[in-house]
C-alpha cells in the first residue's frame, strides 16, 4: 500500500433511492437499480458501518489504512501539519433515478456538539449530466420558523417541504456549493460529481416514495427534536444562490480552472482540467482525478499513467507535480490547501 498513483476500482453499493446505471456505464461498475452513488477515493464509512464506503486499493487493503500508515507521503507534510492524517474530502458520483428527498447536513459546530465529530457536511456538485430545465432546491425561499419545519416533518408533508425551497436550474457543466444546514433536493435525472466533507451525516425532512423509514432512521439517532436544530431556517434569495453557483461558461475552458466558488476553498477544491490547448501542469498534492471525457495521459514522478473517460486516478503527494496531456477533460478533486481559510462553522 505504498503511495503511488493508482486507478481505482468502482465502489457502488445499495442505497434507499434509485439510480446508478450511468455510473455503471461510465465506470464499468454494476450500475443500478438501487446503487445511485459511488464513493470515490473514500476514507469515510457509511453512518453506523465499519467498512462500507471505504475505497479499496487494487490488490489488497483500504485507502484509509494506507493514508494512516504514511500520511506525509499521501497528503504532504504541510497538509499533515494543518489537518493531521484526515484526507478532508470525500468524492462521490450521484446518479439520480428519482429525486433526492428534502434533507440537510449538519455543520461542524453541530457535529462536534452532538456527534463528537470534527466535520459536518458542506458539499458541492459538479453537474455531469441533466435533462433540459432540471432544477435543484437549496434553502428555504422564505424564513421558516423551526416549529413550522418540525410540524411539516411530523406530518410527513412532502409537498409542503418541496414547495418551501428556493429552486435553481442547473445544466451540465455547472457547479454549486451547498453549505451545511441548508435543506435541499435534486431532481430525478441529474448526474453529479460531488465533493463533500468526509462524513455520512444526513437528516431527512421528508421521505415520501423512498425505501427508508425516516421516522426511525432520518435523524442520526438523535431524535428529531435535536436533529432539527441543525436546520438553517433563514431565507435564501436568488442572489444568495448566484453566489453559490459557478456557471459552465466560467469553468469549461482550456487549461486549469477552479470549478467552485471561493467560499468552497475552506472545505475542498475542484480543478477542471482541459488539455485541448496543450499539456496542463498541476502542483503536487493528494488528488482524486476523475476523467469525464476523452483520453490521454497523466505524467508524474512515478511515470506515465494512461487514462480515458471513466477512469479515476488517485494521485498522492509523493508523486510530485504532475501534468495532464492528450485530449481529455477531467476534474481533480482535492482537499483544502494547507493555507486555506478557516471554515466558517
My answer on whether 144 and 224 are in the same domain is: yes
Predicted local confidence at residue 344, as pLDDT = 76
Cα–Cα distance for residue pair 11/26, rounded to 1 Å: 13
pLDDT of residue 199: 98
Shared domain for 96 and 108, answered yes or no, is yes
Domain identity same for 258 and 238: no
Last residue of a domain, one of 248, 268, 299: 248
283 & 141 share domain = no
Q: Do the domain assignments include residue 107?
A: yes
pLDDT score of 60: 81
Q: Are residues 181 and 79 in the same domain?
A: yes
Same structural domain, 239 and 257:
no
- Which CATH number belongs to the domain containing residue 121 in this structure? 2.60.120.10
**Residues 263 and 299 reside in one and the same domain:** yes
Q: Please report the pLDDT score of residue 220 as a whole number.
A: 98
178 and 285 in a common domain: no
Could you report the per-residue pLDDT of 144-186, keeping only the tens digit for each? 999 999 999 999 999 999 999 999 999 999 999 999 999 999 9
**Is 345 within the bounds of a domain?**
no
Q: Indicate if 261 and 240 belong to the same structural domain.
A: no
**Domain that residue 42 falls in:** 6-248
- Domain boundary among the residues 248, 265, 292 is at 248
Q: Give a yes or no: residue 263 inside a domain.
A: yes
User: Do 249 and 152 contact (CB within 8 A), yes or no?
Assistant: no
Domain count, the chain: 2
Q: Does 209 map to a domain? A: yes
Does 340 map to a domain? no
Low-confidence ranges of the chain (pLDDT < 70): 1
Whether 264 and 200 share a structural domain = no
Q: Are residues 330 and 307 in the same domain?
A: yes
Q: Identify whether 181 is part of a domain.
A: yes
Report if residue 343 sits inside a domain: no
Amino acid at each position: 500500500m505504498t503511495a503511488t498513483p493508482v486507478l481505482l476500482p468502482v465502489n457502488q453499493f445499495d442505497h434507499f433511492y434509485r439510480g446508478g446505471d450511468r455510473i455503471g456505464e461510465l465506470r464499468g461498475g454494476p450500475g443500478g437499480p438501487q446503487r445511485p452513488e459511488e464513493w470515490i477515493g473514500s476514507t469515510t464509512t457509511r453512518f453506523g458501518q465499519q467498512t462500507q464506503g471505504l475505497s479499496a486499493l487494487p490488490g489488497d487493503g483500504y485507502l484509509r489504512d494506507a493514508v494512516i500508515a504514511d500520511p506525509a507521503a499521501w497528503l504532504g507534510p504541510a497538509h499533515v501539519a494543518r489537518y493531521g492524517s484526515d484526507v478532508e474530502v470525500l468524492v462521490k458520483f450521484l446518479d439520480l433515478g428519482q429525486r433526492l428527498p428534502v434533507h440537510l447536513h449538519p455543520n461542524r459546530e453541530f457535529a462536534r456538539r452532538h456527534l463528537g465529530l470534527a466535520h459536518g457536511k458542506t458539499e458541492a456538485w459538479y453537474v455531469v449530466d441533466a435533462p433540459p430545465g432540471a432544477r435543484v432546491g437549496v434553502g428555504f425561499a422564505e424564513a421558516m420558523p423551526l416549529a413550522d419545519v418540525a410540524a411539516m416533518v411530523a406530518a410527513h408533508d412532502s409537498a409542503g417541504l418541496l414547495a418551501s425551497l428556493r429552486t435553481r436550474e442547473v445544466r451540465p457543466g455547472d457547479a454549486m456549493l451547498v453549505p451545511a444546514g441548508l435543506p435541499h433536493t435534486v431532481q430525478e435525472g441529474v448526474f453529479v460529481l460531488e465533493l463533500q466533507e468526509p462524513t455520512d451525516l444526513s437528516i431527512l425532512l421528508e421521505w415520501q416514495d423512498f425505501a427508508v423509514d425516516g421516522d426511525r432512521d432520518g435523524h442520526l439517532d438523535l431524535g428529531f427534536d435535536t436533529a432539527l436544530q441543525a436546520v438553517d431556517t433563514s431565507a435564501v434569495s436568488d442572489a444568495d444562490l448566484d453566489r453559490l453557483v459557478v456557471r459552465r461558461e466560467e469553468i469549461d475552458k482550456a487549461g486549469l480552472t477552479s470549478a467552485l466558488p471561493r467560499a468552497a476553498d475552506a472545505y475542498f477544491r475542484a480543478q477542471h482540467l482541459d488539455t485541448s490547448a496543450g499539456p496542463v501542469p498541476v502542483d503536487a498534492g493528494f488528488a482524486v482525478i476523475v476523467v469525464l471525457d476523452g483520453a490521454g495521459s497523466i505524467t508524474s514522478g512515478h511515470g506515465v499513467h494512461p487514462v480515458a473517460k471513466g477512469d479515476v486516478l488517485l494521485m498522492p503527494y509523493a508523486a510530485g507535480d504532475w501534468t495532464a496531456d492528450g485530449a481529455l477533460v477531467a476534474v481533480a478533486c482535492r482537499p483544502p490547501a494547507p493555507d486555506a481559510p478557516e471554515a466558517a462553522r
